[in-house]
Structure 1
Amino acid sequence: MARPRKFVESDVVSSAGEVFAVHGLAAATLDDLVRATGLGKQSLYNAFGGKRELFLRALSEDREEAARAVSEALGHGDALPLERIRGHMLLMAIDFSHSDRRVSLTTRALVESTGEDDALSTATRAGIDQLAGIYAQCLEHARENGDLPADANVPSLAMYFVAITRGMELLGRAGVGRAALTAVALDALRVLRAP
């Protein structure tokens, strides 16, 4: 008879996610994961199937958290859609400029992804597409309001903002300061100005 689990799975995934965010999938060791989660190697394998599978679980949770945050920032509110995007971009500049902020797993996976047709690349692309979809909804509302030209390429603009925010995150991690990240955010918004 199998012994009952004596851990909370979501806590283990969260702790492992912290390890992966710092080290990445390739460099994180089982010993790192054991220390962070408090589980033994065999328990990790039994519960999650291995390091890669645990990374994918943590990536999925990180992706959902990121999507919730962006959705809340860009969701319907009193501000016009482009004002919501502007506010979100400026908050990202502040957030990403903190030197102790870790890189999100979505961005870490993007950096480590090979682009091949494997589970990591598929999960990474799903996260990018999910974020782009949220930006696209807000941009579509802006177009409906007449704040974007009728011929604006909304899917391309949405992917553009995903690229800008992921890039800002990496720049912040490399030590680029708030002023420079704010300038990047403001310059990125200039593409939205109607001719």
Structure 2
Amino acid sequence: MARPRTFDEAQVLRAVRDQFWNKGYAATSMDDLMKVTGLGKGSLYGAFGDKHQLFLRIFDTYCVNSVESVRQALEGPDAGALERLRRYLLGAATASAGPSRRGCLVARGTAELSGQGATDVTDRALTAFQGIEAHFARCLEQAQRHGDVAAGADPRKLAAMLLAVFRGLEALGRAGMDEASLRGMVETALEGLPVSARRRR
């Protein structure tokens, strides 16, 4: 009979996530993971598999949670959809200029592992980015119905542009760009959205 686990799985996975997030995949060893979790190698392997399987476990969860957080932030009635999108992107700009600047685990993991042919990581990342883009597009469709965005505009193309801005905020923030500049980028992108005749009047 297998011995019951004597550790808090959620707590262990949080410690593992933070280790990978702070130090990166390559710089994290099994010894590091044993140290931050307090578990022996046998316990880690038995519960989660090897280092790559453990990384995929926390990477999957992070991707799902990232998409869900966007959905929750943008969810609401047609009225105010554009303002919700604006608040979300400005919040991302502020966070990207924060003191920790450790960035997004999806972007960091993808950048590090894509060159090693880790398609299991890149496929998961692409699915997450497409999910975020879909929520942007849905919010823009709501803004169209409310009359804040021109009816003839393609919300999917606009969402793709905003996704590029959204992902660029992190890279520029980690490079040291200040908050005012990052927020200015968001405002400029939103001001460039095609407006409806009602808003032009």
- TM-score where L is the length of structure 1: 0.89
Task: Give the match for residue 105 of structure 1.
Answer: 105
Partner deviation per Cα, 1:22-81 (whole Å, 9 max, x = no partner)? 222222221221222221222211111111111111112212222232122211058521
Q: How does 1:39-188 map to 2 (within 5 A)?
A: 39-76=39-76, 80-114=80-114, 118-188=119-189
Q: Percent identity?
A: 37
- Are positions 1:190 and 2:156 aligned together? no
SS of the residue 1:143 aligns to: helix
Change (3 A) 1:36 1:162: farther
Task: Give the match for residue 28 of structure 2.
Answer: 28
Change (3 A) 1:117 1:173: closer
Partner deviation per Cα, 1:161-184 (whole Å, 9 max, x = no partner)? 222222212222222211111111
SS of the residue 1:112 aligns to: helix
**C-alpha RMSD of the superposition:** 2.1
Distance in 2, Cα, partners of 1:77 & 1:37: 43
SS of the residue 1:134 aligns to: helix
Distance in 2, Cα, partners of 1:113 & 1:144: 41
In structure 1, the gaps of 5 or more residues are none
Letter of the aligned partner of 1:106 in structure 2? V
Contact 2:78 2:146 in 1 (8 A): no
Q: Which runs of 4+ in 1 moved over 6 A?
A: none
Aligned residues: 195
Task: Give the match for residue 199 of structure 2.
Answer: none
Distance in 2, Cα, partners of 1:35 & 1:173: 28
Letter of the aligned partner of 1:103 in structure 2? G
